[in-house]
Amino acid sequence: MKHNMGRLIRYILIIHKLSGRRKYVPGEELISYLNLQMEIRGYDVGISQRTVQRDIRDIADIFKVEIKNHRGFGYYVAGMQEETDIRYQELLLNFDLLTSMNQGGETVGFIIPEHHRPKGSDNIPALIRCIKEYKIVEFDYILVRKGDKIISKRVKPYFLKESLGLWYLIALDERDILKVYGIDRMQNINATDDAFERDDSINPDELFKHSYGIWDDPSMPVEEVELSYSPLDGKFIKTTPLHSSQEILVDNDTEFRISLQIRITNDFVMALLARSASLTVIKPLSLRARIKEIYKEAIERNN
């Protein structure tokens, strides 16, 4: 198990190193980097050029990332399949945490996990299997906004998505409409033997492109949002952007200002309120009025 995990970490390290600002990385430098990083992670070193060449072939098969060696310059990423959106730094972090907690329990005392585990997470492996095998899933679903009413669902599972510590199933319902289901609200899950034909035209990268979190309503317009924060809050927002469309407009000693192209959903408004101590909504004015009304009602409740 550790041997297999070590190979995966090595693959991701190679892609991460070659995805930096420099176009080329000399072979000796890449090998030295890999040996150092693997030693830090508690793996045997001794990685050779032959190992790197074998890893590059595996990377092309597994990740669809083409890596070449330009004689006299070094290795470089020649291409990725359809501009893949895999975030290798986050993937590497997840592997590091996983391997750290599986090395004889030696580092468990240095990692502080969350005090709660998302409800329904035990069902994730079964759902992944149904997605991979194109099998229809049946379950009972709790409608929280309708007084915890329970309805029965029979869906074609397509994707799993994590958002704010919770997991969601994205599936086609009985009418072949794409819906999102919170796994924490799913009960009596039954992985059937009934197969379905997957619609490969559904692009996961486009589903939540203009939204924050898990809620996306295509009927809502994509709006230009401009927000102003204090320089201190700006440091945190630079580290963890609100959205992939975030652009920095002002960044100085008195103000941090950004613009976004996004649908103004309830999830997005809640995200703004989470860091609202220095927030000023510049535009649109409708969002400014909405935030103001939330503040006003909160003051009245707590007065």
pLDDT tens, position by position, 71-128: 999 999 887 755 444 555 566 555 555 555 444 444 445 555 555 556 666 677 788 8
pLDDT > 70: percent of the chain: 85
In this prediction, residue 80 carries a pLDDT of 72
- DSSP letter for each residue of 46-113: ---HHHHHHHHHHHHHHT-EEEEEETTTEEEEEEETTS----HHHHHHHHHHHHHTTSTTTTGGG---
Lowest mean pLDDT among 82-86, 226-230, 278-282: 82-86
Q: Are residues 47 and 2 in contact, defined by beta-carbon separation less than 8 angstroms? A: no
In this prediction, residue 284 carries a pLDDT of 96
Residue 205 has pLDDT above 70, yes or no: yes
Q: Show Cβ contacts of residue 92 under 8 Å, excluding neighbours closer than 6 positions.
A: 9, 12, 13, 16
Lowest mean pLDDT among 33-47, 181-195, 224-238, 243-257: 33-47
pLDDT > 90: percent of the chain: 48
Q: Residue 138 is part of a domain; what is its CATH number? A: 2.30.30
158 within a domain of the structure (yes/no):
yes
Helices and strands, number each (H, E), in the chain: 9, 11
- For residue 18, the 8-state DSSP code is H
Q: What is the pLDDT of residues 56-71, one digit of tens each?
A: 998 888 878 889 999 9
Same domain for 289 and 257: yes
Same domain for 284 and 234: yes
Query: How distant, in Å, are the alpha carbons of 229, 246, 254 from that of 232?
Result: 8, 17, 9
Q: Are residues 256 and 226 in contact, defined by beta-carbon separation less than 8 angstroms? A: no
210 within a domain of the structure (yes/no):
no
Same domain for 93 and 14: yes
> Which of 258 and 42 is assigned the larger pLDDT?
258
Same domain for 48 and 142: no
CB-neighbour burial class of residue 133 (10 A; exposed 0-12, middle 13-18, buried 19+): exposed
Same domain for 200 and 237: no
Q: Are residues 244 and 205 in contact, defined by beta-carbon separation less than 8 angstroms? A: no
In this prediction, residue 114 carries a pLDDT of 58
87 within a domain of the structure (yes/no):
yes
In this prediction, residue 258 carries a pLDDT of 97
**CA dist., res. 247 & res. 225, Å (int):** 10
Print the domain residue range for 257.
223-302
**The last residue of a domain, from among 146, 170, 204:** 204
**CA dist., res. 212 & res. 121, Å (int):** 22
In this prediction, residue 161 carries a pLDDT of 85
Q: Residue 232 is part of a domain; what is its CATH number? A: 3.30.70
- The per-residue pLDDT of the chain, averaged, comes to 84
289 within a domain of the structure (yes/no):
yes
Q: Show Cβ contacts of residue 138 under 8 Å, excluding neighbours closer than 6 positions.
A: 152, 153, 154, 155, 189, 190, 192
In this prediction, residue 64 carries a pLDDT of 80
Instruction: Dig out the tokens for 148 from the structure.
Output: 């915890």
213 within a domain of the structure (yes/no):
no
User: How many domains does one find in the chain?
Assistant: 3
In this prediction, residue 240 carries a pLDDT of 86
Lowest mean pLDDT among 87-91, 286-290, 293-297: 87-91
Q: Residue 85 is part of a domain; what is its CATH number? A: 1.10.10
254 within a domain of the structure (yes/no):
yes
98 within a domain of the structure (yes/no):
yes
Residue 257 has pLDDT above 90, yes or no: yes
Same domain for 12 and 99: yes
Same domain for 125 and 173: yes
Q: Are residues 76 and 18 in contact, defined by beta-carbon separation less than 8 angstroms? A: yes
Same domain for 127 and 78: no
**The last residue of a domain, from among 105, 140, 155:** 105
Same domain for 91 and 6: yes
162 within a domain of the structure (yes/no):
yes
Residue 155 has pLDDT above 50, yes or no: yes
What's the rounded mean pLDDT across residues 272-300?
A: 94
**The last residue of a domain, from among 46, 71, 105:** 105
What's the rounded mean pLDDT across residues 217-232?
A: 93
Q: Are residues 139 and 190 in contact, defined by beta-carbon separation less than 8 angstroms? A: yes
> Which of 106 and 206 is assigned the larger pLDDT?
206
What's the rounded mean pLDDT across residues 142-166?
A: 89
Same domain for 76 and 11: yes
